[in-house]
Amino acid sequence: MALNVFDFDDMSQPDYGRAHVRVGLIGHGIQLSRTPAMHVAEGAEQGVSYSYDLIDLEVMKNGPFTLSEILDAAEAAGFSGCNVTYPFKKTVIEYLDILSSPARRVGAVNTVVFKDGKRTGHNTDYWGFAESLRHGLSGVKMKTVLLLGAGGAGGAVAHALKTLGVENLLILDTSLPAAETLASTLGGEAISDVGAAVARADGIVNATPMGMVKLPGAAIPTDLLKPHQWVSDIVYFPRATALLRAAKATGCQTLDGSSMAVFQAARAFKHFTGLEANVARMRATFEAFSTN
């Protein structure tokens, strides 16, 4: 499916000939994202004229541009809103007028809606991960969970885990202050002894970029894993990350990042259009990448 690449120099609103929803994804190195295709295909299924631009700072011409400039340009071009991904989920907040309750609690935004001259920030990662875990790892023990990563995605996952009943949330990040800040917000525990934390955990969630094509490897030594544990990774390209491959080989139950990607996209679609997305259809679009 051909997708638009946003031209920063063209801030005009194209004449689509009828009511149109135009959105984009702001991030760095996002050419392999499956989110645009899910949105465009679902829009077509619901009879909505829908386009989705990739606003990729890694490939944009005539840059660099600031996040503020990009938001201004997208809004001026008639966008209904934008999804926001790494590394802007926290920094985008200072350019918004309103935060939804989930976004305020998490302290990160992945969906921005432009409406009536206001910019509203939402966090659909929070709901997306919770739904993913409910569907994909139902019934697993979650008394103690080790969270890898305290960034924008990590904050969303942390709040989802507490909502799902995790009693002891252990948080590991390359920045101990970041882990401590998130832990203090949720009553969790920032940890530095990786071996001891893994040994305590019923489950482990990777919310870092580690495992992506551009950042191969795992955020923890995989030889620490035990067969009784479950392991989830929010990375979905590749779906079989180094962490998940090692976990499967150890005998752990595993959950890849595909379901979170689908659920968060479905919730974002509703924010942009006011329409309920068909999650099964969006999942089918996501899975079609595996056969293309």
pLDDT of residue 214: 83
**254 membership: H or E segment, kind and range:** strand 253-255
Note the pLDDT tens digit of each residue in 232-248.
999 998 999 999 999 99
Average pLDDT of span 84-106: 95
Q: Give me the pLDDT at residue 43, please.
A: 96
- For residue 36, say if its preceding peptide bond is cis, omega within 30 degrees of 0: no
Using the predicted structure, report yes or no on whether residue 110 has a pLDDT greater than 80: yes
In this model, does residue 251 exceed pLDDT 80? yes
For the segment 103-123, the average pLDDT, to the nearest whole number, is 96
pLDDT, tens digit, 9 for 90 and up, residues 29-76: 888 899 999 999 999 999 999 999 999 998 887 777 899 999 999 999
In the predicted structure, residue 7 carries a pLDDT above the cut 70: no
pLDDT grade for 6, boundaries at 50, 70 and 90: very low
Q: Phi first, then psi: give them for residue 193, nearest 5 degrees.
A: -90, 95
Peptide bond preceding 102 in cis form (omega within 30 of 0): no
What residue ranges define each of the domains in the chain, with the CATH number in brackets?
4-122+260-288 (3.40.50.10860), 126-256 (3.40.50.720)
Q: State the average pLDDT over residues 87-107.
A: 95
CA distance 252 to 254: 6
CA distance 230 to 46: 37
Average pLDDT score over the chain: 91
Residue 17 clears pLDDT 60, i.e. is over it: no
Question: What distance in Å separates the CA atoms of residue 197 and residue 199, rounded to the nearest whole number?
Answer: 5
Q: Would you please indicate which residues are annotated as catalytic (active-site) residues? A: 89
The pLDDT of residue 291 is above 50: no
